[in-house]
A and B are shown apart, each in its own frame.
Chain A
Amino acid sequence: MKKKDVPQDQNSIFEGETKAVYAISEKGKIEIAQSSGWDVEAVVLKQAIEEIERHACDALNRAHSGETSALEYHMYAQRMDMTILAQASGRFKWQIQRDFNPKRFNKLSKRVLEKYADVLGIDVETLVRLPK
């Protein structure tokens, strides 16, 4: 890649930051060049974020209709999935799956709720509620 071919597609996600890539200068030396984003990258990142948001939205709808607990929504809202939440909280996946049951979730002890809240980086108040 030549230095003049380094993509400058103004990726809004970077919030004005630039990314370093290696490219060939006019003198033929390969060195760091600044890129403000590449459309190809922006497309796939957007896709990944949309996928998480889709999960979160889906979980929120199901939580409102009482099919799942607020825990599932907050898990996706914090960009986690079952594997990450299990490893971070030290609980088994099947325990988390069980806590997705609203009846079970409402009966959880304070200790467990605090653990989830801590790992998700929110407080217990937020954890047990759903956003409007």
Chain B
Amino acid sequence: MSDTFPHQHAAHCETGVISTILRANGLEISEPMAFGLASGITYAYLPIIKINGQPLISYRIPPRMITRMLAWRIPGLEIKFRKFRHEAEGQRALDEILDQHKIAGLQTSVFFLPYFPQEMRFHFNAHNLLVYGREDCNYLISDPVFSHVVNADAKSLSKARFAKGPLAPKGLMYYPTKMPETIEIPRILPKAIKMTCRTFSNRNPFPFSGVKGMRRVARQIDNLEKMDSHSARLYLGHIVRMQEEIGTGGAGFRFMYAAFLQEAGEATCSQLLTGLSEEMTDIGDEWRMFAFLCARKSKNRGAVSFVEVADQLRKIARLEQNLFARLSEYRQ
């Protein structure tokens, strides 16, 4: 199956891997559909968790959750997750799976993968990829963030799987053990959408997530005025990196969610979903505008004030709250 593997170039690693795995096993689910059905979209500002000394700002649910949510939501789908204590053990288990001509998803670090461009290697441990075969010591890999299949030698791959540090993958490997024949998307949709709408409603009790999280970050940006300019610049740059660079399909997953709404609208012939999909793309454009303003301010180009940047984020919060309020009226 090595030459003809149906590789998928995807916007995000985790959704890309799970979508390709399900497709290879005969269940037709696109990347945005997997993302939407897992209620993957969110906004979370977590100042306690630091990434390179900066607070974590996430636009999707935590790593592994998308895969777990899908396994939980789709009736008849079971996915096995395995972690290992020793490198040799992990490699043996992977070989066993490959010898059975199955494919497996892996969680790895980015830093040790030889096929990544040098400058893009950071110590980021929650990357996902898919192994579909082995040729001697080389593993054949379908990494969704690349437009083509790649390969890695056993030693580097093992090192990437057992990288240490925050979010350490511990050799995590996952593969489906039970596959449903078909999937009834219209039946799962209402649940998935309802959960997302709850996150973005004003009634979300957790003040660091959803629209309240956005407003909190906006207040932080207001206050950057008082901070020294070097740290302020780094903070704004960090916000943009979390939104755009870490495989989000642009605009912090908003475009991907719009694609999901469009697909769902077609599958259920729902005018509401199709209409909201268009609005979601407009909101995505606003997010890109926000990234643009941040980068501009962070480079000290043009006369943008911190308040203007923050106001853009507040505007987005308002728009998203409004959109998800209307989406919550969706019924089967």
Contact = CB atoms under 8 A, between A and B. Distances in A.
Interface of A: 1, 13-15, 17-24, 29-32, 34-35, 38-41, 43-45, 47-49, 51, 79-81, 83-84, 87-90, 119, 121
B152 to A, nearest CB: 15
Given A30-B259, A83-B50, A43 B281 contact: no
Contact of A1 (B122, B168, B288, B294): B288
Contacts of A121: 112, 159
Most buried by A among B10, B245, B258, B288: B245
Contact of B117 (A13, A23, A83): A13
A84 B145 contact: no
* A20, A47, A51 interface centre (most CB from chain B within 10 Å): A20
Contacts of A49: 119
B81 interface: no
Contact of A19 (B145, B258, B295): B145
Interface in B253-311: 255-256, 258-259, 262, 277, 281, 284-285, 288, 291-292, 294-295, 298-299
Contacts of A89: 164
Interface of B: 9-11, 32, 50, 52-53, 111-112, 117-123, 145-147, 159, 163-166, 168, 233-234, 237-238, 240-241, 244-245, 247, 249-251, 255-256, 258-259, 262, 277, 281, 284-285, 288, 291-292, 294-295, 298-299
Nearest to B240: A44
Contact of A47 (B117, B159, B237): B237
A18 B120 CA distance: 13
A79 B123 contact: yes
B243 to A, nearest CB: 9
Given A13-B117, A45-B241, A84-B123, A21 B250 contact: yes
Secondary structure of the A contact surface, majority rule: mixed
Identify the 10 closest CB pairs spanning chains A and B, nearest first.
Answer: A22-B255, A88-B164, A21-B250, A44-B237, A30-B259, A15-B117, A40-B295, A13-B119, A88-B165, A44-B240
Contacts of A30: 32, 255, 258-259, 262, 277, 281
A28 to B, nearest CB: 9
Nearest to B282: A1
A23 B255 contact: yes
Given A13-B120, A40-B295, A47-B237, A34 B147 contact: yes
30 contacts: A1-B288, A14-B120, A15-B118, A17-B147, A20-B9, A20-B249, A22-B32, A22-B249, A22-B250, A23-B250, A30-B258, A30-B259, A30-B281, A34-B9, A34-B147, A41-B240, A41-B241, A44-B240, A44-B295, A44-B298, A45-B241, A47-B233, A47-B234, A47-B298, A51-B234, A83-B53, A84-B165, A87-B168, A89-B164, A121-B112
B181 to A, nearest CB: 27
Given A1-B288, A48-B241, A87-B165, A43 B120 contact: no
Contacts of B234: 47-48, 51
Contact of B245 (A29, A44, A87, A90): A44
A80 B120 contact: no
B245 A22 contact: no
Contacts of A14: 117, 120
